[in-house]
Amino acid sequence: MSEANKNLVRRHFEEIWNRRDLSVCEEIMAFDYTENAAAPFAMSIPGKVNGPAATRGTVAWLTAQYPDIHMELESIVAEDDLVVARVLSTGTNLGRVDGGPPATGKPFAGRQSHWFRVTDGQLCEHWATRDDLTTMLQIGLIQAPGKPTADH
């Protein structure tokens, strides 16, 4: 069971995110899905969503900001119905981050841990811990305290 659950998570990152094969959403994402990880700058709180639709929306949202985003699975562990993955995301900021300032054209590399719960052979719940601060610093949307800005 654990190996099958890990394979679902591998498919999530490799097929949906890296290959952009959004047809896989219907196969591996539960319709009754709980998203516990709000996107940065999200206007709504996490909760129950349509899994395939929410996943397609998240891919569209993130690839508009980072069209070349790639998610490398660095480690994966499963126990019972839970799977946790440590992921290294890399890409280039070529679109406005949530409609904010113009794209910087700068690359980023940021890590996250993603937890999934599996029910009946589908991903049905998700939690994430992301290092968004490092990404925002790398692409130049924010400056580290005490660092001079381009204006000074």
Give the Cα separation of 115 and 141 in Å (integer): 27
Number of structural domains in the chain: 1
Burial 37-46 (b: 16+ CB within 10 A, else e): eebeeeeeee
Please, which pLDDT band fits residue 99 given cuts at 50, 70 and 90?
Answer: confident
Question: Which of 63-72, 114-123, 129-138 is predicted least confidently?
Answer: 129-138
In a domain, 78, yes or no: yes
In a domain, 151, yes or no: no
Q: What is the pLDDT of residues 1-27, one digit of tens each?
A: 799 999 999 999 999 999 999 999 999
Question: Which of 45-49, 74-78, 83-87, 138-142 is predicted least confidently?
Answer: 45-49
Q: What is the pLDDT of residues 127-147, one digit of tens each?
A: 999 998 999 999 999 888 887
Supply the pTM of this predicted model.
0.89
In a domain, 149, yes or no: no
In a domain, 145, yes or no: no
Highest mean pLDDT of the ranges 42-46, 59-63, 81-85: 81-85
Q: What is the CATH number of the domain that holds 102?
A: 3.10.450.50
Domain range enclosing 117:
2-139
Q: DSSP state, 42? A: -
